[in-house]
Each structure stands twice: as C-alpha cells, then as structure tokens.
Amino acid sequence: MKKVSVFLLVLGLLFGTASTASAIEFKVKGSFQLAFDYINGGSFMGKTRAGNNVIGQQWSAIRQQRDSFEAIQRLHLQIDAVASESLSGTVFFEIGEQRWGQASQGGALGADGTMVKLKRAYIDWMVPNTSLKLRMGMQGVKMPGFAMDNPVLDDDVAGITASYAVNDHLDITFMWLRPYNDNYVNSVYESQSGYMDNMDLFVLTLPIRGDKFKVTPWFIGGAMGPNTGRTVDANGNISFANPSAGGQAIDGLGMRDGLAPAAFSTSRANVWPDQYASLFWGGVTGQFDFLSPVRLKADFAYGAVDYGRSELNRHGWFGMIMAEYVADWGIPGIYGWYFSGDDGNPNNGSERLPYIATTNNLTNSLSTFGYRGNPIMGGGKGVLGLNPNGTWGVGFRIKDMSFLEDLKHTFRFHYFGGTNDTDMAGYITGRKADGGRRIYRNNTDFNSYGTYLTTADTGIEINLDSTYEIYENLKCVLELGYIHLWLDKDVWGGYKDIPGDSLNYKDAWKASMNFIYSF
C-alpha cells in the first residue's frame, strides 16, 4: 500500500504543477490488460524424472509451476512531460502482473498490492542548432530485425542513445548501455562487494533506406566483469546467476544461460571466470520490396563471448529468410531459420549464438506460444524458451487475415528441430563423463530454462491468434496454440542414477482470452 500511495503522490505532484508550468504539456497514455488463460502440458511432461506427477503449467522459460487456469491483469501507464519538440521527459510505470487471488501480487481479497514498477524513465533532447538527438536514462532498447525479432537484445536498460540523421537515406545511432553494476555481494569479504561487476555495452546501428528497401547493419561490443552475476555466501560458496532474477522472475537465469555454455568441463577449482570477458555481436537485417507485392526479409547475426578460458567461451550465428505476399485480405508468407548448435565437446565452450536479454520481446513474429511474442502479458509464452537458440525450422504464416470488419487472424505453422549434438545432451543428463573432470550444467534440459533440442529431436507448433476490435480503444484477443515434440528417448530417456524410462513427455496447448483497453 505504501508504494501505491507514493505512486499516486507523484502523479498528483506532476499534474498539480501543470497549471503553474504552462510551458510544459503533460501527455498520458497506456493500457489496461486482462488475460484469462488455460494451459495444459506446459512442462512437456506428465511426470518428473523422479516419477512424480506434474501439476499445472510449469513453463519452461519461467520455471514456475502455476495452475492450469489463471486470470491475470496489468496496467501500463506512460507520462510524457513535453517542453518542446527539442526537449521532453518520459516515465513509464507498470502495475502488475497481478494474478487474481495471489496475495503476494496484491490479487487476493482486500487487494492493496505492491506491484508498482518503474520500467522506463528518460529525457529526450536535441543538441542546439544540430540534428543530434540524445536519450538519457532507463529506456527500451530493441536491436533491429526484419525477418525475426532480434534474438540478442530487446529489453529495458540504463544508458545514453545518440541519433543523427545524415540525410533522408542514412541514420547513425550510437549507444552506451550499462545493464549491470554494483550487484556483487561477497559475504566473506564485504569490502570486495561491488568490485569488478559491471557490464558495459557499446552499440552502433546504421539504418539505410531506399525507395524499395531497408537495410540495417548493427554491432555490439562490450566487456563484462568476472563478478557480474556472482554471489559469495557466508560459507564462501559461489553462485552465478542473473542479478535481476530475484526481482524479475521472467528473467530467470537469462544472463548466465545466454552468455555461458549449456554444459562445460573443467578441473579448475575456480569454475567461473576471473577476468573481464569481451563481448561482440555483428549483424545485418533487410527488407526488400523490389518485387511488390512480394516482400523479402532476411536476418543474419554472429556473436562471441571470450572469457579467456576455452571451456567457458561461447560463439555462434543465426540466419533467417522470409518471403511474403501483401494482399488485400492478408499477408501470407513462408520462412526458414537456422541457429548454430553445440558440438559434442564440453572442453571447447559453446557453439550457440550468445544473447544478452530477449525477455521483453513484445513483437515476436515467430511464435506466441513456444517463444515470447505478442505484447499481451497472458500466460503460455516461452514454453520452448525465450528465443529459438540452437534450433532450425521452416514454416508458413498468414498475417492480418481478415474477411469480416474489425476481425483479424494470424495463423502460423512451423516444423522445427534442434542443432545441438546429442553427445552434449549426454553431459547435461549425467550419462556421459569426461575422464575425471567435473561437468558443470547450466540449468539446461529439454524441459528446463530454454528447451535444449538436439539433432535427434523435432517438433511442430501451430498458432491461431484472432483480434476483434470491440471499440476503437478496446480489443479482444484470443490466442490458441499447440506444440508437439518428437524427443529421442535414447537422448532424454533418463538421468544418471534415476532408474527406468522417466521421459514420459506430453503435448502442450493453450487457450488465452485477452482484453486490452488502450488510451
């Protein structure tokens, strides 16, 4: 209740000063979102590996066990303080998600929740007498992608963005971002807390536009301290996880799983790195309309993380191509993607594309069930993972299909498989050893944080998402999804020291009804 009161007080002060600060114009926008979800098989298992029944929807990407049916609500509220076209400030609050009946989120009898969160707060201004635009503060950063939403970085982060329009055909955008700093806690030597725990990123994008094409090369370089995400407890035990995991359950262990191998082998006493790691990504994305009404889209990216230790390093790539036909009744299209996968050697690091954060992806064009797509906060997004890392796939989509006024549909079907070596799955499950060297596992499984599929595993996913505009500002969205996996039992049939065949996987499906009032 205290946080809500402070929030309302801030709003009162903002609007209370509007009459005296006549030069400032306040603009308010946002959305109320309500979702009613039923999800079955969200863990892809009928029983755990210990033989216990799985209850509810244990989403893979979130790793939280929940009821099959849930009702959820959320409020987004954005306030812009506009002084002129050259100067403004923005604050973006999120209230929720609140699951109806859950006391810890303020959804139980009596409400009074404390789920007010500051997502973004920044100022926009232009350098006088120039075309240089600057944005400073907590802001949303989405790396470019036309065929698929960018699988490397799409989230809220603190930093400075500088944009300059060279001419009508070329822009230059440069960013300094600081995702993490001062989160390291050393309970044994408290004086070392906060030491060498920063991550700094430098981003360059070069959007190029023509009459019938758009191409954007992009680059990310940076460094990450060895204590970023590290914690030392009072007994001297070291753990490594995402610093924001405690406050944002959706992030899970995203930083660790995105920047480190799924499993690695080492004989060193100090498992985690002891020096700054270098980070690099480079890519290009494009859209081409030369054959209108046929539209082509393509993405390519490569990334590498170098810890100075071969078993911890990670590098990989991905590519995707899509062809669409723009018709009056909808946009049919076909597409295919490929992400590099791990080889079978736990001593040479990972061959999967590293990523920073894609948990805030609100426009994922690939999937609204298996991966995290769509701006709706309802459940059942990401049961396969946060992005399609370590997979390949081909698919068919009809976007914005409409035969009735105010009613649109998007249909997706794709067949996919894994690109990771089956031997690496053996190290993950504990079936394979490495000559006395210890195997460290990074919370990866076919049913853990981010589904790990091998070259012996395949699956299909079907989405049907329908949007009906009840009023100009109120829409109803029905999301239907189904996923079937063909998993290799020789690969995933049982873990070390667990007798019998404990795979017992099942299909996953969902039905989610969402109401969104935008203002």
**pLDDT of res. 358:** 73
SS3 of 370, please?
coil
**pLDDT of res. 452:** 87
Cis peptide before 479 (omega within 30 of 0): no
Structural domain that includes position 99: 2-518
**pLDDT of res. 116:** 86
**pTM, to two decimals:** 0.89
- Type of residue found at 441: R
438 Cβ neighbours under 8 A, 6+ residues apart: 265, 266, 267
How many domains in the chain? 1
**pLDDT of res. 375:** 56
Q: What is the pLDDT of residues 434-450, one digit of tens each?
A: 877 788 877 666 655 56
% of the chain at pLDDT higher than 70: 80
Residue 431 sits at the vertex; the CA angle it makes with 427 and 433, to the nearest 5 degrees, is 60
In which residue ranges of the chain is pLDDT below 50?
1, 18-20, 60-63, 244-252, 361
Chain CA centroid to CA 79, Å: 25
**pLDDT of res. 252:** 39
3-state helix, strand, coil in the chain (%, to 5): 10, 50, 45
CATH, residue 332: 2.40.160.100
Contact 91, 121 (CB under 8 A): yes
Q: What is the pLDDT of residues 318-331, one digit of tens each?
A: 999 999 999 999 99
**pLDDT of res. 228:** 87
Picking from 115, 122, 169, the residue whose alpha carbon sits closest to that of residue 141 is 122
- Residue 15, both tokens: 């609007």
Q: What is the pLDDT of residues 220-268, one digit of tens each?
A: 999 999 888 777 777 767 666 655 433 333 333 566 778 889 888 887 6
**pLDDT of res. 189:** 79
Number of C-alpha atoms within 13 angstroms, CB side, residue 507? 10
255 φ, ψ to 5°? Answer: -65, -45
**pLDDT of res. 64:** 56
